[in-house]
Amino acid sequence: MQAQNVKERVILGIDPGTAVMGYGLIRETGSKVELLSLGVVKLDHLDDHALKLQRIFEKTISLIDEYHPDCMALEAPFYGKNIQVMLKLGRAQGVAMAAALSRNLPIAEYAPRKVKQSITGNGSATKEQVAAMLQTLLKFTETPQFLDATDGLAVAVCHAFQKISVKGTSSIGGGKKAKTGWAAFVKDNAERVSVPRSPKK
């Protein structure tokens, strides 16, 4: 007999880029997470930056319309010294966001270090380490053509791990950020956690 009232949601994860856009889709059923799809969109053959943005928008819309995800998670651009690269990455992310917003999809955004920490327990993990852990977690053996595909998948899994139940988990728009991790667990489960008292002097 199947357990009733088990919440199910499909999460689309995207790692926006101007040369390659990685994406991954997972289905979360209760505590179980399964892989639906992962892949890349090659953009380096397009010379015009505007055409790259158009391709990102169209592919994101296509994925949303095909898999009907409940939310989208993105990897935030890392902060580098090259302003032009940052600007282009920000545009790529913005276009992916616009595609999701046009389908009324909630958006969550995670820093690269947060994604790595969620998947491997190490915020400084390599792309290869993240990919290996995802293969173990989701039990797939095929090697993605680019590590950007597993980067996109990692963002989706990271979002699933947050266990955010608040509707509209978007970090866009200045909403309150949901607290996760050990501190949040202690706060929500005070009766289950024994905090040692300091000895009186």
State yes or no: is 15 an active-site residue: yes
What pLDDT, on the 0 to 100 scale, is given for residue 62?
97
Catalytic residue (choose from 15, 28, 109, 151): 15
What pLDDT, on the 0 to 100 scale, is given for residue 102?
96
Catalytic residue (choose from 28, 109, 148, 151): 148
State yes or no: is 44 an active-site residue: no
What pLDDT, on the 0 to 100 scale, is given for residue 43?
92
Query: Mean pLDDT per 10-residue run, the chain (201 residues)?
Result: 71 92 94 92 91 96 97 84 85 95 96 93 91 91 73 94 52 39 48 46 46
Catalytic residue (choose from 28, 65, 66, 75): 75
What pLDDT, on the 0 to 100 scale, is given for residue 189?
46
User: Within 10 A of 1 (CB to CB), how many other CB atoms are there?
Assistant: 3
Domains located in the chain, CATH noted: 8-173 (3.30.420.10)
Residue 47 and residue 188 in contact, taking contact as beta carbons nearer than 8 Å: no
What pLDDT, on the 0 to 100 scale, is given for residue 83?
86
Q: Which amino acid is at 64?
A: I
